[in-house]
Amino acid sequence: EQQLQTLKLKQQQTNITLIVIALISVVVIAILLINRYRIMNRMKRQAELESMRQNIARDLHDDIGSTLSSINIMSQLAMKETGNGSVQLQKIAAYSSTMMESMSDMVWSISPRNDSLEQMVVKMKEFAAEILEPKNIQYDFSTDQSLSTISLDVEKRKNLFLIFKEAINNAAKYSEASNVNIHITREHGSLNMLITDNGNGFDANTTTSGNGLNNMRARAQAMKGRWQHQSEPGKGTSIAVKIPLT
């Protein structure tokens, strides 16, 4: 009888253990299924969002972009037919050209194909060459190899590129520099961009917002990042941006 009771007790313990294991297995499987559903749902929403972004970028390029291009071409032709053209035609040509450039940047920033930081660096290099080389300004563009693994959302990518664009335009138009250095690095979970030139510099206390300093600062703050500039007359200018990657 004692042996039978011992066997029954062991059998009960075994049954309890099996029931506990089964319950734990059910809970684990349920958690895995819920997580899988959430991941699949998130991936589906991401795919839908990317498809929508692609459609918007294509529509902007095909519809509005082509219309602006037509307006610019027609205004150029009208100016040729009337000599130098009227002031209104010159304004139309200038405004449409500016809008075409802005539209190109907008389409680029929306397209999901350009989410990687590597693609943004390619566009930055193209822009630097387009703006600096005609001015005979030498430039050095250095980046970390690890940047190829970084992806930025639309807002960060747009703001960072526009800060870069403003800094390069200012260096080309106002600095009278002969050399510009551009460094983009990754450090401790942050993305750092440093742009320096050896130009005339300026007095930051007396410079108006026409150089876009306030816009650059606002864009850095929108990315929850830090923006710094240093400049003195005759000592060049440096623009530094640090944004979190998390």
Taking each continuous run of H as one helix and of E as one strand, the counts in the chain are 6, 5
Residues of the chain with pLDDT > 70: what percent?
85
Is the pLDDT score of 143 beyond 60?
Answer: yes
For the chain, strand residue ranges (E) read 138-143, 179-187, 190-197, 226-231, 237-244
Distance, in Å, from the CA atom of 79 to the CA atom of 93, rounded to the nearest integer, reads 9
Q: Is 147 exposed, middle or buried (0-12, 13-18, 19+ CB in 10 A)?
A: middle
Phi and psi (nearest 5°) for 201? 70, -175
- Structure confidence at residue 89 (pLDDT): 74
Distance, in Å, from the CA atom of 169 to the CA atom of 158, rounded to the nearest integer, reads 16
What pLDDT digit, counting tens, does each position of 79-130 carry? 777 666 677 777 777 777 777 777 777 777 777 777 778 888 888 998 899 8
Query: How does residue 193 score in pLDDT terms, banded at 50, 70 and 90?
Result: very high
What's the DSSP call for residue 116? Answer: B
- Tell me if 161 sits within 8 A of 119, measured CB to CB: no
Query: How does residue 6 score in pLDDT terms, banded at 50, 70 and 90?
Result: confident
What pLDDT digit, counting tens, does each position of 31-63 carry? 888 888 888 878 777 776 667 666 666 666 566
Distance, in Å, from the CA atom of 37 to the CA atom of 49, rounded to the nearest integer, reads 18
Over residues 176-183, the mean pLDDT reads 93
Higher pLDDT, 71 or 166: 166
Phi and psi (nearest 5°) for 186? -115, 130
Is the pLDDT score of 64 beyond 90?
Answer: no
Nearest to 228 by CA among 167, 179, 185: 167
pTM of the model: 0.64
Higher pLDDT, 151 or 185: 185
Q: Is 164 exposed, middle or buried (0-12, 13-18, 19+ CB in 10 A)?
A: buried
Query: How does residue 174 score in pLDDT terms, banded at 50, 70 and 90?
Result: confident
